Every structure is written in C-alpha cells, then in structure tokens.
Structure 1
Amino acid sequence: MTVELSCGLPPGPAFGDLAVLAEKLGYARVWIFDSAPLWEDPFVHLALAAERTSRIGLGTAVLIPSERSEMAMASAIAAIARLSGGRFRACFGTGATARRTMGRRPLTLRALEEYVAAVRGLLAGETVTIEDQPARMLHAEGLAAPRPIDAEIWLSAFGPRAIELAARIADGIVGQSVHPALPMATMRAGTVLEPGEDRGAQRVGEAVGPWQVVAFHEAYAIGGAAAVDAMPGGQEWREALERLAPEGERHLLAYEGHVTHVTERDLPLVGYDHGFPTLIGEADEIRDGLEQLGERGVREVIYTPSGPDVARELRTFSAAARR
C-alpha cells in the first residue's frame, strides 16, 4: 500500500513559507498544531497558507475543544474550508498537552464527543443545543459558504475507547493503531542522515531532540516525580526544574520548548530512546520505514520536522521518500 507523506508544523511566523515549500516538495498535506500556551493561533496561519497555496491539503493536529466555543470553531472551520477550496481537514483531540501546560486534565471522551457532534451539526446547517439553548449558524448569504459545509472531521485516537468513538463520529483518525474501518494517519519525527553521518552527531540531536524529550515532559505531567525519576536522566531533569518554581507552577516549565526547541535543561536527555516514534537514517532507510508503515495499513505519515533548519528537513525527507 502506498503511504501519503504529509508534514506537521507549529503555527508561527515561519508556517506560511514552510507550507509553500511543502507544496513545492510534493507533500500531500500540511497539518498545523494547536496549543494556545505554546504557539500562535492556527486558524490565522491556515488562512494565510490557504491563500498562498493551491494544491496541498491543510489539516489540524489537533484542535482542542476547550480553546474555542462550538460556534467559534464551526465558523473558523467554515472560513478555512472556503479559503482553501475544500482542502481542509479538521482533527480534534482531548487536549492532553494544551491543557496540561495550564495545569488541567485532558477533556473526557464524552465531552469530546458532544463537542464534535455539535460542531458537525452546525457545519451541516442543523440546529443544535449548546448550553441548553438552540444554536445554528446564521451567516447571511455572502458572509460564509452556504451550509452544509464540506470539511472532513477526524479524531486523535490512541486508546481503544477513543478508537471506538471515532468509528461513530469521525471520518478518520490520527494515532498509532490502524483503525479497522477508518483511514489512519500517524506522526513520525526524524531526520535524513547525510552519507556516513553518525546518529549521535550534533546536527542529528538538534534535529530530533525536541521530539526525543517529549516522553519526559509527559511522564512528569502525568505520573509526577516517581514516573520521570524512573527514566534515564529523569531525576536530574526533575530536580533542575523543581528548583526553578514552586509546586503549583511547575507545569509552566515542564513543556518549555515542547516539540520545537531543546532547552538547556532538556539537553542531557537528547539521544535517549524514550521519545516520540522516529525515522532516522539515510535515504534508503527512510524509504524502507515509510514502506513498512504502508504495509501495516497506515494511510498517511505526518512527518514532524524540528530543530534549527526545518526547511532542510522537509527537503531531504521528501527526496528520500521519492527515491
């Protein structure tokens, strides 16, 4: 099975230029992250990218219900669907990272289901119930695309309950397990090695390090001291963090640089095999890794480049995939 190659990027000043580059390089879709405490508003950057591109698909990985009301979300989706000429895919999740950066738990799957159902209904032109009151998109002719608005709705689904929920309310999933009925995309960080380049080279650490330290951020936020101390280098990392803030404010530090930068505190953790799934190797190894994912039934791989030269990562990964 041929796997589509897409890319995932944070919303920020470089997003538009990188989206244009991704289109030129042949990526199928560019997905944008959504975490208000970490990055700028994704819909602003999606609108700019929609105006500057003509072919590449646009997606969100992933939208967080608690960051926008159902009506605000539906209106934003309608705008990007119109601006992109139907190239937009909206993927939702429970907000694990976005909410933990503010000291909150992720939303429940029931809350996610109710929210997505309301947004889907609004986009279809239906009257839905929001906060015990009927609501409907009232945009007059010429102020938005007429309803129903065609936009795919996907879910971030990693556990069995989320996968089961997706079968009821979604058109596809982003996750790690192939869905029995829905198309599935999965994320992979990584970098293409230059011929003879060592995996332990400084450039490699800079390119993939932001994703390699994710497991430490998550372990501390979810399991606390005991969980992160059990990981190589975890205790030293935690103690350095805890010296900088009182207990009630440590969640403000745990996710610094999340998936984009390696902080000085995170630097000793780079290279440990506890991070995000990665594809690291020379061009033939990257291509083989993508083919293996396709054989497993993965429909789309979302490559998530990071480090100081994201444009280089996009170019070399695309070239490796095509060889």
Structure 2
Amino acid sequence: MNRPRTMKFGFCIMSDIDEIGFFSFIENLNYDSAWVADSQMMYSDVYAVCTLAAQTTKRLRIGPGTAICGTRIPPVHVAAMATLNRMAPGRVFLGIGTGNTAMRTMGQKPMKIAAFADYLRVLTGLLDGKVMDYAFEGRSRPVKMLRHDTRFINLQPKIPVYVSGFGPRAMALAGEYGDGLVFAIPPRGVAVQDALGHVRQGAARTGRDIGGFRNATLTNVALLLPGEAPDSDRLKRSIGPNVMASVYYFYDMVQETGIEPPDFLRRIWKPYCALVEQTPPEHRHFRTHEFHYTDLHPGEAELIDEQLIRDTCLVGTPDELIEQIRALERDGLQEMVFAVGNETKWRLAEAFARTVMARL
C-alpha cells in the first residue's frame, strides 16, 4: 500500500465572489486548504468569499491568507472567524499579517512590528475566550467575546492562527503568539530550519510550549510541460503576475529606504522604473500593486525571463518538483500554498494534483 502523503497542499485565492466554484473544485482534487487573500482596494471582501466557500465545501480548510491587521481591529477579525467557525466548525484558520499590499494600495505602510505584537496579543487572547486589555482610540478597557458558548459565534474548536512572517522579528512573533507560521522559502525566502529557529526564539521569550506548531509556505510554482522552457508564453501568462509581485514589493522598499535593488532585479530595474514613472507620483501606489497576482501591465512581460522566473518560483517537470518537495519536507516544511490569481489556476490545480500530488 502507498503511505498517505504528509505534505499538505493548498491554494491562495485572490478573493473573487464570482469564482466560488474553485473551492469545491480543489476540494475534489484532494487539496487540503484554501487561503483567501484580503486586499480591500482590489478584490472581493475576504470574509464574504470565505463564507460562501464554507457553505459549498465539506472537508477543505478555509481562512484568510492573510487577513490584514491594519484594516480591522482585533475584535472584528475574531467575530468574523468565530462566525465562520460556527458554519464550518474545526476547518477554519486565521492567517494574519501586517498587510504589505492591502496597505500600500492606499498609499500607507504596513503595521510596524511593535504594534503587530500588541495586535496579536489581543487577537489570540480573544480567540482563546480570555478577557483582554485593549486600547481603542487611546482608551484602554477590558474586552472579551460575549455569548460565544451559547449562540452567534463559536470559539471552539480552537481556531488556529498562522502569523505571516517574512523577517526574523515577525517569525519570532509567530512563536510567541501563533499556532503556525506562513512564510516564504527560497529562492526568495528563508530556509525552513532558519524560519523555525526564529519561531523557537519567540516561543522561548515567554516559555511557551509550541508542540503541534504548524508551518506553511506561500510560494509560486511553475509546472513545466515536456520540453517546455520556463519562460514560455504559457507560463508567463500563468505566473508572470506572481513574478512581478516580487518586483512591486522591492520597488516600494527601494523608494522608501534608498537601498539598492536586490541582485536578481538589477538587470531589469531601470526599465521597470521607467514603466512605473509613466504614472504621476501621487498615483503610483495605484499602479504598483493594482494587478497583484492577477495581470501584467503593458511592458512587464518583456522584463520576465527564465532567470527571473527561477529566482522567484519553484520550477520543474513533475519529477523535478517531486524531488524539490521531498527535500523541503525533509527540512520540516508541512504545507505548500500556491498563489495564482488568474484563470490559469484551474488548469494548474488539476495538472499538479494529477502529476505531482498523486505521486507523493
């Protein structure tokens, strides 16, 4: 007999109220989870989409991936999640982050780490049914979720919290407050054991036991057809927007801090900046993230080559991807979540399930 696979697989879905059928589609393909993007200036509302997804599935784990702390106060996120937990008890989770894209589409910066830590303190305490001191508009008062043990919402079964961490301090907060970590792996992220080391450091600060702690990576995958080049027109249409999302992120970093662009972007940096600078400065935050994971602006496809795809994605034939996944699993990775925001996700989900998942 084949042993059950231990690596879990999911999709990060750009919230689209017109594509609720994708949730049951991936459930029937034996995916484990659906992470629903929260970006209020671009997509359908994350909790409306999660609600409909919960109604149309039976097994799939569902949750925001990730919810944005800067756009909703902790009690609002808890009420939304506890409502989902009443609809689909035991199969919802909360991914939570500081909100790079969601905040930057408004011309704002993500929440700072110290504020994020306090946000997580209140959020996780409320999810545990505790009374928490919470400051709202400068006035601190004790708060708790009322009547959760009788009607309206469920805090049980426990709703796991995955903290989004792309740097050491945020990863440590996952160990201090979270039940899991969602992060980025190489080539553009952090090795699994390094990330888990930061988690353990955070847990040690408070003597917290993190037995049962989970981890998941949000990543891009380029599944090659036989003889296909990584920079084929087909793959550019599919994952080109994912590739450019990394470029958008670093554009903001360079403009705000004056750092040099990373080495993997140097060869395209000037032509990319020239594209952005066609937009007036006061409206550039509209342009840089508008097509996040969904589309390409004119001129962007020409910047994407094989090396840029390899620098931002897991790339390979089914056999090659299986080897890469097994290596990541040996390193301690537990779940892989693929972000695809256009119509090619249907084809990718089916092909990956058939040629990779079924063989693991």
TM-score (normalised: structure 2):
0.83
Q: Secondary structure at the match of 2:337?
A: strand
Residue type of the alignment partner of 1:78: A
Q: Report the counterpart of residue 27 of structure 1 in structure 2.
A: 31
Shift of 1:97: 1.9
Alignment of structure 1 residues 41-120 onto 2, 5 Å: 41-120=45-124
State which of 282, 285, 289 in structure 2 corresponds to 1:255: 289
Q: Distance in 2 between matches of 1:257 and 1:208?
A: 12
State which of 251, 262, 271 in structure 2 corresponds to 1:220: 251
Contact 1:305–1:314 under 8 Å retained in 2: no
Q: Distance in 2 between matches of 1:140 and 1:56?
A: 24
- Percent of aligned pairs with the same residue? 25
Contact 1:232–1:272 under 8 Å retained in 2: no
Shift of 1:39: 1.2
Q: Distance in 1 between matches of 2:235 and 2:155?
A: 48
Q: Tell me whether 1:320 sits opposite 2:355 in the alignment.
A: yes
Q: Distance in 2 between matches of 1:272 and 1:103?
A: 32
Q: Distance in 2 between matches of 1:309 and 1:112?
A: 35
Task: Work out which structure has the larger RCO, using CA pairs closer than 8 Å and 6 or more positions apart in sequence.
Answer: 1
State which of 343, 346, 349 in structure 2 corresponds to 1:308: 343
Q: Distance in 1 between matches of 2:174 and 2:251?
A: 28
State which of 34, 37, 41 in structure 2 corresponds to 1:37: 41
| Count of aligned pairs between the two proteins | 322
TM-score (normalised: structure 1):
0.91
Q: Secondary structure at the match of 2:95?
A: strand
Question: What are the ranges of 5 or more consecutive residues in structure 1 without an aligned counterpart?
Answer: none
Moved more, 232-241 or 39-48: 232-241
Moved more, 37-46 or 269-278: 269-278
Q: Secondary structure at the match of 1:302?
A: strand
Residue type of the alignment partner of 1:240: L
Alignment of structure 1 residues 1-323 onto 2, 5 Å: 2-130=6-134, 131=136, 132-139=140-147, 143-147=151-155, 150-175=158-183, 176=185, 177-178=191-192, 179-180=196-197, 181=200, 182-224=213-255, 227=260, 231-245=266-280, 247-271=281-305, 273-274=307-308, 277-321=312-356, 322-323=358-359
Q: Provide closer, same or farther for how the CA distance between residues 253 and 280 of structure 1 changes in structure 2, counting only shifts above 3 A.
A: same
Question: What are the ranges of 5 or more consecutive residues in structure 2 without an aligned counterpart?
Answer: 186-190, 201-212
Q: Distance in 2 between matches of 1:264 and 1:239?
A: 12
Q: Provide closer, same or farther for how the CA distance between residues 238 and 272 of structure 1 changes in structure 2, counting only shifts above 3 A.
A: farther
Contact 2:246–2:312 under 8 Å retained in 1: no
Residue type of the alignment partner of 1:191: A
Contact 1:37–1:98 under 8 Å retained in 2: yes
Q: Distance in 2 between matches of 1:266 and 1:294?
A: 34
Moved more, 271-280 or 150-159: 271-280
Residue type of the alignment partner of 1:308: E
Q: Provide closer, same or farther for how the CA distance between residues 15 and 142 of structure 1 changes in structure 2, counting only shifts above 3 A.
A: farther
Q: Distance in 2 between matches of 1:99 and 1:29?
A: 25
Cα displacement string for residues 156-205 of structure 1 (whole angstroms, at most 9, x for unaligned residues): 11222122221110111011343145321112212322222232321111
Contact 1:26–1:318 under 8 Å retained in 2: yes
Q: Secondary structure at the match of 2:161?
A: strand
